[in-house]
Amino acid sequence: LLREMDDAGEFEIIEETREEKIHVDALLDELEAALGKEGREELAMRNWMNSLGATPRVKYIYEDLKDGLAILQLFDKIKPGCVNWSKVNTPPFRALGGKMK
Protein backbone atom coordinates (compact mmCIF):
# COMPACT_ATOMS: atom_id res chain seq x y z
CA LEU A 1 0.00 0.00 0.00
CA LEU A 2 1.13 3.51 -0.76
CA ARG A 3 0.09 6.56 1.19
CA GLU A 4 -0.41 9.91 -0.44
CA MET A 5 -1.29 13.25 1.11
CA ASP A 6 -4.18 15.06 -0.56
CA ASP A 7 -4.73 18.84 -0.73
CA ALA A 8 -6.46 18.92 2.66
CA GLY A 9 -3.49 17.27 4.36
CA GLU A 10 -5.29 13.95 4.79
CA PHE A 11 -3.60 10.69 3.88
CA GLU A 12 -5.24 8.56 1.26
CA ILE A 13 -4.39 4.89 0.97
CA ILE A 14 -3.86 3.83 -2.62
CA GLU A 15 -3.76 0.22 -3.71
CA GLU A 16 -0.51 -0.75 -5.38
CA THR A 17 -0.82 -3.03 -8.36
CA ARG A 18 1.67 -5.81 -9.03
CA GLU A 19 2.93 -4.00 -12.14
CA GLU A 20 3.59 -0.83 -10.16
CA LYS A 21 5.51 -2.81 -7.54
CA ILE A 22 7.70 -4.40 -10.23
CA HIS A 23 8.29 -0.94 -11.72
CA VAL A 24 9.21 0.55 -8.32
CA ASP A 25 11.58 -2.35 -7.60
CA ALA A 26 13.27 -1.81 -10.97
CA LEU A 27 13.68 1.90 -10.21
CA LEU A 28 15.20 1.08 -6.82
CA ASP A 29 17.65 -1.30 -8.49
CA GLU A 30 18.64 1.47 -10.92
CA LEU A 31 19.09 3.85 -8.00
CA GLU A 32 21.35 1.34 -6.23
CA ALA A 33 23.47 1.05 -9.37
CA ALA A 34 23.68 4.84 -9.63
CA LEU A 35 24.72 5.15 -5.99
CA GLY A 36 27.57 2.77 -6.58
CA LYS A 37 28.74 1.08 -3.43
CA GLU A 38 25.85 2.26 -1.24
CA GLY A 39 22.81 -0.01 -1.44
CA ARG A 40 19.51 -0.23 0.38
CA GLU A 41 21.02 -1.43 3.66
CA GLU A 42 23.58 1.36 3.73
CA LEU A 43 20.90 3.91 2.90
CA ALA A 44 18.68 2.62 5.70
CA MET A 45 21.59 2.69 8.17
CA ARG A 46 22.55 6.22 7.13
CA ASN A 47 18.98 7.44 7.55
CA TRP A 48 18.77 5.77 10.98
CA MET A 49 22.01 7.42 12.10
CA ASN A 50 20.82 10.83 10.95
CA SER A 51 17.46 10.35 12.67
CA LEU A 52 19.31 9.89 15.98
CA GLY A 53 21.10 13.19 15.48
CA ALA A 54 24.62 12.34 14.33
CA THR A 55 26.52 15.59 13.76
CA PRO A 56 27.70 16.35 11.21
CA ARG A 57 25.05 14.46 9.28
CA VAL A 58 26.20 11.23 7.65
CA LYS A 59 26.06 11.68 3.87
CA TYR A 60 28.42 8.99 2.63
CA ILE A 61 28.43 6.10 5.10
CA TYR A 62 31.86 4.69 4.23
CA GLU A 63 33.59 8.08 4.18
CA ASP A 64 31.86 9.73 7.13
CA LEU A 65 32.40 6.83 9.54
CA LYS A 66 36.16 6.55 9.00
CA ASP A 67 37.11 8.58 12.09
CA GLY A 68 34.54 6.85 14.34
CA LEU A 69 33.06 10.05 15.80
CA ALA A 70 29.57 9.43 14.43
CA ILE A 71 29.63 5.90 15.86
CA LEU A 72 30.65 7.21 19.27
CA GLN A 73 27.86 9.80 19.09
CA LEU A 74 25.36 7.05 18.34
CA PHE A 75 26.64 4.97 21.28
CA ASP A 76 26.20 8.01 23.51
CA LYS A 77 22.68 8.68 22.18
CA ILE A 78 21.61 5.08 22.73
CA LYS A 79 23.25 4.76 26.16
CA PRO A 80 23.97 8.25 27.54
CA GLY A 81 27.24 8.57 29.42
CA CYS A 82 28.92 5.49 27.96
CA VAL A 83 31.46 7.58 26.02
CA ASN A 84 34.15 9.48 27.93
CA TRP A 85 34.35 12.50 25.60
CA SER A 86 37.43 13.88 27.37
CA LYS A 87 39.42 10.98 25.90
CA VAL A 88 38.07 11.33 22.35
CA ASN A 89 40.06 13.24 19.73
CA THR A 90 37.63 15.56 17.96
CA PRO A 91 38.20 17.84 14.95
CA PRO A 92 40.12 19.92 14.23
CA PHE A 93 42.74 17.23 14.57
CA ARG A 94 46.32 18.20 15.38
CA ALA A 95 48.80 17.99 12.57
CA LEU A 96 50.75 14.75 12.49
CA GLY A 97 54.11 15.10 14.12
CA GLY A 98 53.26 18.47 15.65
CA LYS A 99 55.29 17.73 18.80
CA MET A 100 58.10 15.94 17.01
CA LYS A 101 61.35 17.78 16.44
Give the pLDDT band (50/70/90) at residue 2: very low
Decide if 70 contacts 63 (C-beta within 8 A): no
Cβ burial of 43 (10 Å; 0-12, 13-18, 19+) is middle
Cβ burial of 94 (10 Å; 0-12, 13-18, 19+) is exposed
The pLDDT tens digits for 14-69 are 555 666 777 777 777 777 666 666 677 888 888 999 999 888 888 888 788 888 88
The amino acid that residue 68 corresponds to is G
